[in-house]
Amino acid sequence: MLKKTYENIDSIGRAIITIDAKDVHNKELAEVIYPDGRKAFAQVIALNGSKVTLQLFGGGFGVSTNCKVRFLGHPVQVGFSNEMLGRVYSGNGQPIDGGPELVSDVTRVAGPSINPVKRLIPKNMIRTGVPMIDVFNTLVRSQKIPIFAKAGEPYNRLLANIATQTDADVIIIGGVGLKYDEYHYFKERIEEAGSKNKTIMFVHTHRDSIVEGLMVPDLALAVGERFALQGKNVFVLLSDMTQWSDYLRQVANAQDQIPANQGYPGDLYSQLASRYEKAADIDGSGSLTILGVTTMDDVTHPVPDNTGYITEGQFFMKDGYLEMFGSLSRLKQQVNDKTRDDHRSIMNAMARLLSEAEERVKAQKFGSVKDDYSLRLLEYRKTFQRELMDPFIYLELEGALDLCWDILANHFKKEEVGLSSDLVTAYWPEKGEFKILKNTTNAK
């Protein structure tokens, strides 16, 4: 197809240009040709009659009204191959690891989600090696779930650990607005753990253009879908979706869109949903699971507020720990009765006892906690936090369940934990002979 070239750009913004053109489609890719022959990519983001608005992938610096625009007749695409595994790409889909560009097969970016008819009910656990997730808020293949955390929490370190510990077939990391040391940590951690051969990274640093940052989730999810359709179980890790939403706000403001809550565009919900809804367990194929980071000051912020309506639960990270009562996996009941026969029971027992312990913490402020059982509850709370809430302790699910039994036996009598006699007989440690826990000073 003949690629038509247009001249005489009407207006130029920070990352936006407008031009008069005909027979152009929304989301179509274009080349901006500079007077010296250099080229840069842009994407159509709005149509108003013959007036076409484009996002500049490299920003508006250096663009002048005598640049030319050539429309390519197709949306943004990314090369696809099994050879992508172990590679690192930028926010525009180009390799940044020194390897060759993939051009043999391309896949559309930001295409439609999987047909609902082809979606299966989630029924399989995805292991992360993190006890607070695997035991108490089990992740399920095809689930979409965020980590809510304040800026400065070690959420990227947690994502890197999960990337090296999960049992997924393919891991895709999408980094938006990463600092260089964060990008370097991801890369180094994956190489050290030997997970490079099943990991793909799409990286946008804070020095790159915001348009490339906006492309990262779409690139990661487009490639993830292709692997899922090949029968692979794919785990997509995105950080940080609040930064991505801020880029969305900047572009919307540059277009003079009417702002909604806190200046975010009115379609923030649908923009987030169109990405998260890519998660699916596909009939006759594999699955795509999404874990995204959402930084926030509080849950009333527009990004976590909208995200909470889209996703199937959330993990709360506070002071470096994954919180028990702020976190929730709405799909855990689909799988935690199929892992080990004690999983669901001990999860409930541990949570109930921790809730009792939190009540004792409040009462302790008034000096009313003196009985032996309450003091043991307070010690149990300390052990629980130290041994289970630290997200950087690696334990397989079976080891984490054994640790739960050890903690119970170290602080309580059999009749105090509210578990069935069959489970107590099968799993209760005898005479302090714990499988995991080392501290046995309070053993009963």
In this prediction, residues 295-303 reach a mean pLDDT of: 91
| Helical axes 372-384 vs 343-364, angle rounded to 10° | 120
**β-sheet bridge partners, residue 173:** 201, 237
**β-sheet bridge partners, residue 199:** 171
pTM of the predicted model as reported, rounded to 2 decimal places: 0.91
Give the model's pLDDT for residue 216.
95
Half-sphere CA count of 240, side-chain side, radius 13 A: 27
Give the model's pLDDT for residue 127.
95
Pairwise CA distance, residues 61 & 66, whole Å: 14
Give the model's pLDDT for residue 108.
83
Does the pLDDT of residue 444 top 80, yes or no? no
Q: CB-based contacts of 319: which residues, under 8 Å, 6+ apart?
A: 153
Pairwise CA distance, residues 9 & 18, whole Å: 6
The residue behind tokens 């990227």 is: 156
Task: Give the number of other CB atoms < 10 A from CB of residue 263.
Answer: 13
Length of the chain: 444
Does the pLDDT of residue 155 top 90, yes or no? yes
Q: Strand 39-48 relative to strand 321-322: parallel, antiparallel, unpaired?
A: unpaired
- Cα(first)–Cα(last) distance of the chain, in Å? 79
Does the pLDDT of residue 440 top 70, yes or no? no
pLDDT in tens, 202-231: 999 988 888 889 999 999 999 999 999 999
Pairwise CA distance, residues 72 & 70, whole Å: 6
Q: Please state the φ and ψ torsions of residue 96, each to the nearest 5 degrees.
A: -125, 15
Per DSSP, helices labelled H in 365-414 are 372-384, 397-411
Pairwise CA distance, residues 403 & 264, whole Å: 45
Pairwise CA distance, residues 152 & 138, whole Å: 25
Nearest CA to 179 out of 161, 143, 201, 205 is that of 205
**β-sheet bridge partners, residue 130:** none
Greater pLDDT, 250 or 272: 272
Q: What is the 3-state secondary structure (H, E, C) of 245-265?
A: HHHHHHHHHHCCCCECHHHCE
The strand ranges marked E within 328-441 are 328-329
Give the model's pLDDT for residue 174.
96
Percent of the chain beyond pLDDT 90? 61
Give the model's pLDDT for residue 439.
58
Pairwise CA distance, residues 192 & 204, whole Å: 22
pLDDT in tens, 52-107: 988 888 766 778 888 889 998 888 888 888 999 999 999 888 899 888 887 678 88
- Split at pLDDT 50, 70, 90, the class of 443 is very low
Percent of the chain beyond pLDDT 70? 97
In this prediction, residues 235-261 reach a mean pLDDT of: 89
Averaged pLDDT of the chain = 90
Q: Are 282 and 114 in contact (CB under 8 A)?
A: yes
Give the model's pLDDT for residue 357.
93
- Token representation of residue 341: 């026969």
Q: Please state the φ and ψ torsions of residue 348, each to the nearest 5 degrees.
A: -65, -40
pLDDT in tens, 316-372: 999 999 999 989 999 999 999 999 999 999 999 999 999 999 998 888 877 777 788
User: What DSSP character marks residue 280?
Assistant: E
pLDDT in tens, 30-39: 888 888 888 8
